[in-house]
Amino acid sequence: MTPDMTPQATTPGDTPEFLRLPLRQLGLRSGMALQTRRLVEGTSKTEAQFFGAIEGKGVMVGPANSDAVQTGLTTGEICIVRGFTGQYEFSFISKVLQTFEAPFAYALLAYPAQVDAKRVRQSMRTKVAWPAEVRSASEGAFRPVTLADLSPYGSMVLSAEALGSVGDTIAWKLVAQTGPTLVQLELQAKICHHSRPTGLDHWIVGLAFQQLSAEDIVRLHYLVNTGA
């Protein structure tokens, strides 16, 4: 996830749709990154994290830095919360019920009846750090890349060199040893996102797998579950 909560890539069949969902349906987990912003003119967003929620009672959020002693929120004010779960971008407006500094800094927000959500991925991505290989249509040999995350529908890779343009199709190859099982895959993938953010020495490339066979899907599900 990027600092502005924008996912790196979409996957085949993903059609962004705006929904009104119960907060519990998002599957938020403790430690997930959020952004909070007070609804006061001139204020900026603050990086935060989700601590937990009690349905119908409250949502606990705290500063992204665990050493911070203040939340940046004030009891009684209204704030907007934004986040990305791996499948959904979401936001909701809430009132700050109370703030705490001990034993750690966090704010208790009013539990929202529903949240605004947009589904941007068909499935959750599992974070991994596995070696993989890719080859563009104009290349004869595969080049090494690092697999940063994986789902049954796509992946994100980190590459020392540019891999092509958005919309290009490349070959993607992975050999993974998970316990006693050796899994080998060689797939076609479409480039959905391709950038090198300022300050990084590598390219971030979002890929959507193409023309998957039933066997490919079974292997990918196995790898995703094993990686998790």
Per-residue pLDDT tens digits for 112-137 = 999 999 876 665 667 888 999 999 87
> Residue 26: its pLDDT value, please?
87
| Helical (H) or strand (E) element with 138 | none
> Residue 189: its pLDDT value, please?
94
> Residue 17: its pLDDT value, please?
63
Q: Which two tokens stand for residue 226?
A: 């094993």
Assigned CATH topology for domain 126-227: Thrombin, subunit H (2.40.10)
pLDDT(104) > 70? yes
| Nearest by Cα to 158 from 139, 190, 130, 123 | 130
- Residue spans of the domains in the chain: they are 18-119, 126-227
Mean pLDDT score of the chain: 84
pLDDT one-digit tens code per residue, 155-169: 889 999 989 888 899
pLDDT(148) > 60? yes
Residue 45 and residue 4: Cα distance in Å, rounded? Answer: 10
Question: Domain 18-119 sits in which CATH superfamily?
Answer: Electron Transport, Fmn-binding Protein; Chain A (2.30.110.10)
Average of per-residue pLDDT across 15-40: 82
pLDDT(111) > 70? yes
How many other CB atoms are found less than 10 A from the CB of residue 206?
Answer: 24
- Binned at pLDDT 50, 70 and 90, residue 193 comes out as confident
